[in-house]
Amino acid sequence: MNNKLGLIIAGFVILLILLMNSFYSVDETEQIILTQFGAPIGDAVNEPGLKMKVPFIQKVNRFDKRFLEWDGDQNQVPTKDKKFIFVDSYARWQITDPLQFFRRLRDERGAQSRIDDILDGETRNAVASHDLVELVRTSNREPDMDAEIFDVIVDSLETIEVGRIAIQEIVLELANERASDLGIAILDFRFKRINYVEDVRQTVYDRMISERIKIADLFRSEGQGEASRIEGEKERELLEIQSAAFREAREIRGRGDADAASIYNEAYNSSATTRELYDFIKAMEAYGTAFDKQTTIFLSTDSEFFKYLKSID
Amino acid sequence: MSEFKNPFEGNDLNIPPQIKNLMGNIRMILIGIVAVVLLFSSVYTVEPEEVGVVQRFGEYVRTAESGLNFKIPFTERVKIVPVERQLKQEFGYRTVESGVQTRYTKAGYVDESLMLTGDLNLADVEWVVQYRITDPYNYLFKVRNPDKTLRDMSEAAMRQVVGNRTVNEVLTIGRASVAARVQEILQELNTEYETGIRIEQVVLQDINPPDPVKPSFNSVNEAQQQRETLINQARSEYNRVIPRARGEALQTIQQAEGYAINRTNTAQGEVAAFVDLHREYIRAPQVTKRRIYYETMQELLPKIGNKVITDQDGVNVLPLLQMQMEGALPVNQNSQNN
């Protein structure tokens, strides 16, 4: 009784294991290659869901079908113009032909190291055959110079011939050529970080500092120049205003004097009697003002004034 | 059943009746546990800002909205994706603790933020990418590690944009255009990669020159201020002097006008008086002359301090009259003192 139950249970378990082994699930993110004793069987399975296979004999090899990441190491590379820089790049790639991929690379680890070789090499070549500015700039865009700082300096960007994006495309194309029989496609390659190596950085800082000092000096001297110009303008205007006023005042005064003289002349010089009267009056006026308390005057009794003191005849 | 009792049989313990009872019901308990497990693996909740992506044997079958949801246990799996939540990635710094006073750390992230500008200078750019998962299917199944992918793309895009601008542009007026351009490129890349991510905003935080260069950048700002100060001082000096000079000039001219008017009026007045006098003079020249002469003398002589009247013939006493000698005294005293 017990023995029979054991047999039934054992049979059931074996059946279950067989059943379990003849089904497999494929995730949305996966593609599958079935292998039989190590040799691939049939096409890749791309459709997700529950699938069947021959139990135990066929083995499931799962490959990711999403875009996969590749992150390059930081490489120290000299550019064509002998500048030492770090280049850190990334790429996205995909297993496009899982069968070929399985044959050539076996798994993702193998793929990553092949991609390392290919992309690192191509990056190195591309960097070494271009000037730094070509790797940094994308286009010959004109800099926008609206800020106040551009009052004193003119920014210029070097002209480039290739540019960052084009270089990335070159690397991508060459890498895909070399990876063409690996069952993968490299979809995108980009420079993530490009930077000077540590000891070059200091010289760049020094250059930036000296540039800033130059700009600061320009600002200061511009300020002084402008201040001097205003000062000069002030002095010129001051002199102009003062001298113009002086001239006008003198002219007005002169005209007044002239008008007065002509009025006098017309009256005093009109006849012999006016001249005589004028002479007399002026003499009298002059006497009136010419003497004061300190004056000592000797008057003769012969004078007109005293003549009546002597005699009334 | 006997297996379960074995450990107790070995000892001489008094097994409480509750335990015995429990042992008797072990079948029920097992069924209960299985039922609970089944229930828990077939029910799941999705929060309001999330959706659940359901896969059956790996195949995508449906997207579950927020609330209580059911699935077939053991054959269906759920991945929760926060589609309504705004996510962010920080570059060049990290928020250590957010709150009223958010704390940040920048240590160790210099490599992320230090980048080359188009004129081969260096700038330190810190930014945030705010994004949302709009397509959970793509987000889960099209790209492995979409967040890392977004990070890489952001860094590349920012460097591409900054690399095409001068350091002055990046540090001054370029901010807005840099952020807009990066957002544009990032969105394009995300569409191309089918990451299911929508870029909400790229926000530039601090853009600074690298630390060793900072003081010299500050000195440029200072020099700019100095320039303004110098110019303003000159302008204020100008404003202090020139309007006043203009007023003074007007004063001078007005004074001259006054002088001229005074002169002509005086002349006209005097002439009018003269003309009147002359009219009378013509009628009686001798009398008029004498009258004026005497009037003048009358006024004049009292003003003179010292008067000596002499007689030519010497017949009369000399001096005939000596009027008010005191008037002459100060002269003598002065001469003695000297």
Per residue in B113-150, pLDDT tens?
899 998 888 999 999 999 999 999 999 999 999 999 99
Taking alpha carbons only, the member of A51, A61, A55 closest to residue A19 is A55
Q: How far is A242 from chain B (nearest CA, A)?
A: 6
Q: How confident is the model at residue A1 (pLDDT cuts 50, 70, 90)?
A: low
- Give residue-wise pLDDT tens across range A162-206: 889 999 999 999 999 998 889 999 988 999 999 898 888 888 899
Peptide bond into B319 cis (omega under 30): yes
* Residue A44: predicted pLDDT: 84
* Residue B106: predicted pLDDT: 80
Q: Which of B118, B148, B255 lies nearest to residue A136, judging by beta carbons?
A: B118
Q: How far is B280 from chain A (nearest CA, A)?
A: 11
| A chain contacts of residue B141, beta-carbon cutoff 8 Å | 28-29, 66
The percent of residues above 90 in pLDDT, for chain B, comes to 38
For chain B, the 3-state helix, strand and coil shares in percent, each to the nearest 5, are 55, 20, 20
pTM of the full predicted structure?
A: 0.71
Do B169 and A48 count as a contact with CB atoms less than 8 A apart? no
Q: Is the pLDDT of residue B153 over 90?
A: yes
Rounded to the nearest angstrom, the gap between the alpha carbon of residue A182 and the centroid of all alpha carbons in its chain is 44
Q: How confident is the model at residue A4 (pLDDT cuts 50, 70, 90)?
A: confident
| Chain B contact probe: residue of A23, A82, A149 with most B CBs at under 10 A | A149
| A chain contacts of residue B278, beta-carbon cutoff 8 Å | 273-274, 277
- Give residue-wise pLDDT tens across range A47-74: 888 888 888 888 888 999 899 999 888 8
Rounded to the nearest angstrom, the gap between the alpha carbon of residue A89 and the centroid of all alpha carbons in its chain is 25
For chain A, the average pLDDT equals 87
Q: Does A15 lie at the interface with B, CB-CB under 8 angstroms?
A: no
| B chain contacts of residue A67, beta-carbon cutoff 8 Å | 142-144, 149, 193
Which of A:70-129 have CB within 8 Å of B?
71, 90, 92
* Residue B157: predicted pLDDT: 94
- Give residue-wise pLDDT tens across range A89-137: 999 999 999 989 988 888 888 899 999 999 999 999 999 999 998 988 8
Matching residue, tokens 């990418």: B129
Are β-strands A296-300 and B59-64 bridged in parallel, bridged antiparallel, or unpaired?
unpaired
Taking alpha carbons only, the member of A34, A113, A27, A109 closest to residue A65 is A27
Q: Does B130 lie at the interface with A, CB-CB under 8 angstroms?
A: no
Task: State the ipTM, two decimals.
Answer: 0.75
* Residue B19: predicted pLDDT: 73
Sign of CA dihedral B140, B144, B145, B146: negative
* Residue B305: predicted pLDDT: 75
Contact B182, B157 (CB under 8 A): yes
Contact B129, B199 (CB under 8 A): yes
* Residue B26: predicted pLDDT: 83
Distances in Å between the Cα of B4 and the Cα atoms of A9, B13, B15, B23, B95 are: 21, 15, 13, 8, 56
Other C-beta atoms lying within 10 Å of the C-beta of residue A52 = 9
- The distance between the two most distant Cα atoms of chain B, rounded to a whole number of Å, is 191
Q: How confident is the model at residue B336 (pLDDT cuts 50, 70, 90)?
A: very low
Q: Please count the helices (runs of H) and the strands (runs of E) in chain A.
A: 8, 10
Q: Is the pLDDT of residue B236 over 70?
A: yes
Q: How far is A183 from chain B (nearest CA, A)?
A: 18
